[in-house]
Amino acid sequence: MKDEKKYLFDDPKNIQRVLYIFYTCCALLVILDFVIHRHVIHSWEKLWAFYPLYGFVGCVILVFVATWMRSFLMRDEDYYEKVDMNNLDEKNQQKLTKKITSKTGEHHVDD
């Protein structure tokens, strides 16, 4: 156990430091939102925290769309390995059956 390599985020103090830096950057950006003049084109861009809310809503919508698309894009685990045995001739059926039923370690490159 003494020979195990220690990584940066194995120590909870380092995780707390990273979170502290992250929260400080977020607070600084919120404060700068009041100070920096933005050149807006549309009136809704003047709203406080418009861009963070816009980004958050965009990400949430993206997750919902991806979840919805998963329902019709998802395939079985063996989708590409499925073969319709009825459409093969007898020689290819025997070859495929032999290949499927062979044990691990019995596979040869030339088969």
Residue 82: left if φ>0, alpha if ψ -120 to 50, beta else—which one?
Answer: beta
- Joined together, the tokens standing for residue 48 give 């406080």
Domain assignment present for residue 90? The answer is no
In a domain, 23, yes or no: yes
Confidence label for 4 from pLDDT (cuts 50, 70 and 90)? confident
Into how many domains does the chain fold? Answer: 1
Whether residue 88 has pLDDT greater than 90: no
Q: Check whether 70 has a pLDDT greater than 80.
A: yes
Please give the mean pLDDT across all residues of the chain: 81
| DSSP class of 65 | H
pLDDT at 87: 65
Q: Say which DSSP state 5 is in.
A: P
* Angle, vertex CA 37, rays to CA 35 and CA 42, nearest 5: 130
**Domain containing 52: what range?**
12-37+48-78
- H-only helix segments in 1-111: 12-35, 50-73, 90-101
Residue 107's pLDDT is: 57
Would you say residue 3 lies in a domain? no
Query: By the 8 A CB rule, do 17 and 33 touch?
Result: no
Asked if the structure places residue 104 within a domain, the reply is no
